[in-house]
Structure formats: structure tokens, C-alpha cells
Chain A
Amino acid sequence: MHAADLATTLAVVDRSTPALDAVRLIADQDLVGLVIAEADGHPSAVVSSIDVVRYMLPGYLLDDLSLTNTVGEVGLDDLHQGLQGRTIGDLVDDSDVSVRSVLVVPPDAGPIEIAARMVDARTQVALIDDPSRSEPAFVTLPGLLDAVVARWDAVPDRSPHADGADTARDESEG
């Protein structure tokens, strides 16, 4: 199992993408983060969804969590209003938002290598360095873990029904 086997496509945004569209994209596609492309379309950075939320919320609410419940439903309208006219470029330039360079892995990278590189880079998305592909392909953390768990389940004595707890209970009952 290699990176190429785990490849998936992701929506890519750029600096001119409206922040409201980016939030909608995360919500619609259950994304863990956004891949940000340069003007030429090449993916260059990743911002996690939680950092997009960080950008969406006013700083004063994060400074004082006691206020968060006082704003009521109107607060949601305020969030929408606050994001109007703002773009992914503004988000990238915000010093409070953590935007990381996109992690690049070779097509033949194994799952442990990809996992280790993701942990090292603290990112949940990796770009597969494969010029032969017509559009950028990625490995996402959920996709990677799906593959890892599938591998564990494929081995009979590591299936969920063959764990230590079950064995111990069986022995005591016996």
C-alpha cells in the first residue's frame, strides 16, 4: 500500500476565494482542512478547518469565553457579516491563523512514512508528488487511517472480535 493507492482529489482554493465560500466548502464536503493553491493552480499551503473557524470567530470571543453564550442567535449573523468581503488571502495573512506549507510525499511512500510525516508537519493532508497526474492528488488523514484499519481487520487474529478483553472473558467463563 502506497501513497498512490490512497490518492484522492480535494477541492483547492486560492487567495481570491471568498472566505464565506471556503467555510461552505468545509461544511458541504466535511473537510479537515483546505488546500490553498498559488495563482498557477499549484497547491502550496494547507490550513486546517479549525484554523478557518479560528479566523471566522472574533478575537474578543476567544479572549473571553464567558461572552460566547451572551451573543445568542444574532451572533451567527454577526459571523456571516464579519466574513463578508474577506478572502482566503486575508486568512493567509492573518498572523493568528496557522497556515502550513503543503506536505509533499512521493507516490511510493508507505502508510507509516506518510503518518510520520503528517505528525511531523502537524497536518492532515499530504500532496502526492506525481507529475504524471493531470490534477493534484492528496492523501488525507481519514483516508490513511481507513487504510490502516482495513489492513488490521484483514488479519484474522487482529479483528475487533479477537481482542484481549474478549479472550479474557472467554477464559474466565470457561
Chain B
Amino acid sequence: MTVQIVLAVAAFVVAYVFIATEKLPRTLVALGGAALMVLIGATDDAAVFFSEETGIDWNVVFLLLGMMIIVGILRQTGLFEYLAIWSAKIAKGRPFRIMVMLIVITAVLSAFLDNVTTILLIAPVSLLVAQRLGKSPVPYLLAEVFASNIGGTATLIGDPPNLIIGSRGDIGFNDFITELAPIIVVLVAVLVGLCRVLFRKSFAYDADRAERVMALDEREAIRDRGLLVKSLVVVGLVLVGFVTSTFTGLEPAIVALLGAGLLVLLARLEPKRVFGDVEWETLLFFAGLFVMVGSLVNLGVIETIGQAAKGAVGDHYFAASGVLLFGSALFSGIVDNIPFVATMAPLTADLVQSGGGDARPLWWALALGADLGGNLTAVGASANVVMTGIAKRNGHAVSFWEFTKYGLVVTAVTVGLCFPYLWLRYFLA
């Protein structure tokens, strides 16, 4: 092992520890780690900017950027608030029915929006509805964040780890839908049942309170109907673009950027309102992370680990899927799942490449474990952190252990159900 490899691995591990412990801003750590890799000579400008394998994965970065712009404009229409209030009124102000509607809406929205954005949109409405019901909003917020992490697993664009898996595994939008959406539909239904049991003391019905919910006027949430129509047309076109990308040859990143460009042209908003929701820090975090992991690939570290993994796995891909599923869930429940998946993706790619079609379910095990594992603790996913922050600001603090008490049950059940799903779908024959 050369000094260069030792230094690179040390830099990677130290950066990982800083990201996991959140002692420093994660973007700062990722960019600092990337800079160290360049200084060590583990990578160079050609690899950083132009290598699809070991450089910045522009497909991921620009897909995120495009979707952030689209969602940033769409959220200004009030559509999501309209949907949430409408659902509460459809439920006739009955607490459990409202929770079911909010779970379903959150899961569906999360499949197409970033989970953090979904929570930012749905949490304020939930606080309003819970206040009108005279209930604690905490069960609603917890149910929604669980639904968000589950729903986001269903599509390529639902959760950032899926973007990395899609790009590194050359897996398209439709593949995610056909392979993961069926189990996610089941898991959302299971979540509804779990919430009925976990929050059973929160559903007492009060007719007067229900009247106050029915007094909300969802139509007032829509402030710019023109912008709403334009946004919905563009979102529809982007979804068609994603679904047909296999035939058109247009990468999802290009589809998202074209959609964002079209919506910017149609919306004619001031730049602050167009780009205000773009999380530049997140995009830079991804860039730094890709350079760090790419450097280890450059130096052959990932290949060495991959060889060891191949030796250990052999052709026992079902067992390997189980290890990947549960291991990813546990790891992602404790630390950010983005760096975890960024590191695991090249390893998984090696295994899938050598194992062929039989090893392909490893991708799904990684996606299910990493995405669903986010429900385990209050810091398991960015959406959880955002939700607890909103709850605290509104006088309903959710402690780490209170979250974990419920998160543990939800994660154990949902990840546990994925194991037989993988077996039934890919390994039974």
C-alpha cells in the first residue's frame, strides 16, 4: 500500500467522520476532502471535471438542479397547501382519516419531489389542521416524515441516493417505478396501519373541532392560477420526458433542465423567486463527495474492496441482498445516506458487473435499505431534521428518542417486509 493510498483513505475516513458527526458543515467537509484528494494526487482536473466514472457526476448534479428550480416555482403556486387542506376536508375533519390522507399525499408527492421540500410544504398545513382539531401535531408530523422517506424510495427522483444509484447503475426512471413502486405501495398501506396503532390515542373525534377544519378555504391557497397552469403543464411534460427517456435517449438530467428552462421562460419571475429554492450547498456537497469517492476509485481502493466483496459474496446474491438491505438501513439510520450510497455505489456496480443479471437486485436492496433506513432516527434523513426543527419552532419539540421510538418500529417493519419482497421477486425461481 503506497503512502498516497494511505493518505487518501485517511482523508476519506476523517471527512466521513466529520460528515457523520456533523461537527462541521457537510459541504465544507466534502469540498475540503476533495481538495485534499487533488493535493495528494489521488485525482486531477481531467478526472474531476470530465470523468463519468471518477469525477463529478453531472447527471446527478444537474438533475437535482433542474428539479429544484421546477419545484421552487411550483411551490409558489399554493398547490400543495390546496391539496393538503382539500384532503383534510374530504376526511370530514375526522383525525385518523385526515392522517391517512396526509400520509398518502405526502408519499405520492415525495415520489416526485425532494423529501425535504415535501416536508417543508406539508408540515405547516398539518400544524394548522392539528391546531383546528385541538390535537398535538406531533403524530401527524411523524407520520408524514415516515411517509415521505417511504414514498421517496419509489422513483429515481424521489430521494437523492436513488439519483446516485440510477446514474452509477445506469438505471432509468421506469426501472425504479416497476421494481420499487409495488413494494412502496404496500409499505405506505402498512404505514397507515402502523400509525393507527402507534398513535391510537390521538384520534378522538370532536364535531365542533371538525367544523373548524371544514371552515378552512383551500381555494384561497392558490394565489396565481396562471402560474399554476404553466407549472402543471411543465411538470407533466417533464414526467413524460422521464418515462420516455428510454426511447428518446434524453438523460433525466437533460429532461429536468429543459423543463426548468421552459418553466423559467413561461413563469417570468424575478431571479430571486426562480432560484431562491436552489440548494447550492447541497449541489456542492454532491460535487465534493463524488470527487472524494472517485479518488478512491482512481487509486484502486474501491476495486480492492470490491474484489474482497466478490470473494465473500460468491454467487450468494440473495444473502448479499439481505446484508446490503439491513446494513444500509442501519447505517443510513445513523448517518447521512448520501455519502453512504455514494461510497457503496461503485462497490455495488462492481458486484453487479461481475454477477450480471443475478446480481442486479443488489441495487434495489441498496436503494430500499438506504432510503427506508432514514426513518430509524431523528438524524437518519434530512427531512427528519427539518421536521423536528419545524415542530420545535412551533412549540412541539420532538426529542431524538421520541422520534426513534416510533422510527425504530416503522423501519423494522418496512425494511423487514422488503426482505421477502426481494426474495419473492428476484430469487424465488
Contacts and interface: CB of A to CB of B under 8 A. Distances in A.
Interface residues of A, number: 15
Contacts of B220: 69-70, 72
Given A66-B223, A70-B221, A71-B216, A60 B81 contact: no
A70 B216 contact: yes
A63 B215 contact: no
Interface stretch (B15-23, B63-71, B117-125): B117-125
Contact of A70 (B85, B121, B127): B85
B131 A64 contact: no
B124 A61 contact: yes
A78 interface: yes
A69 B221 contact: yes
Interface in A92-122: 96
Contacts of A67: 81, 124-125, 128, 221
Contacts of B216: 70-72
Contacts of B81: 64, 66-67, 70
B316 interface: no
Interface in B119-172: 120-121, 123-125, 127-128, 131-132
Nearest to A69: B220
B215 A66 contact: no
Most A C-beta atoms less than 10 A away, residue of B81, B123, B128: B128
A74 B124 contact: no
A58 B390 CA distance: 12
Contacts of A164: none
A67 B120 CA distance: 13
Given A67-B81, A69-B220, A70-B216, A59 B128 contact: no
Given A66-B221, A67-B221, A69-B221, A60 B215 contact: no
A148 B88 CA distance: 55
Interface in A57-95: 58-61, 63-64, 66-67, 69-72, 74, 78
A155 B395 CA distance: 55
B393 interface: yes
Interface residues of B, number: 24
Contacts of A74: 132, 212, 215
Nearest to B126: A60
B218 interface: yes
B393 A64 contact: no
A58 B215 CA distance: 18
A70 B213 CA distance: 11
Contacts, number: 60
B128 A71 contact: yes
B279 interface: no
Contacts of A66: 78, 81, 221, 223
Interface string A31-72: 000000000000000000000000000111101101101111
B394 interface: yes
A58 B127 contact: yes
A67 B220 CA distance: 8
B206 interface: no
Nearest to A66: B78
Contact of A63 (B78, B124, B132, B212): B124
Interface string B176-193: 000000000000000000
B217 interface: yes
Contacts of A69: 217, 220-221, 223
B182 to A, nearest CB: 33
A112 B221 CA distance: 46
A58 B220 CA distance: 18
Contacts of B123: 60, 63
Interface string A126-167: 000000000000000000000000000000000000000000
Given A64-B81, A70-B216, A59 B221 contact: no
A63 B128 contact: no
Contacts of A72: 215-217, 220
A72 B220 CA distance: 9
Nearest to B218: A70
A64 B121 contact: yes
A64 B124 contact: yes
A58 B394 contact: yes
B133 to A, nearest CB: 12
Nearest to A95: B393
5 contacts: A59-B394, A60-B123, A60-B128, A64-B81, A69-B221
Interface of A: 58-61, 63-64, 66-67, 69-72, 74, 78, 96
Interface of B: 78, 81, 85, 120-121, 123-125, 127-128, 131-132, 212, 215-218, 220-221, 223, 390, 393-395
Given A66-B81, A66-B223, A69-B220, 18 more contacts: A58-B128, A58-B131, A58-B394, A59-B127, A59-B395, A60-B123, A60-B124, A60-B127, A61-B128, A63-B123, A64-B81, A64-B125, A67-B124, A70-B81, A70-B216, A70-B221, A71-B216, A74-B215
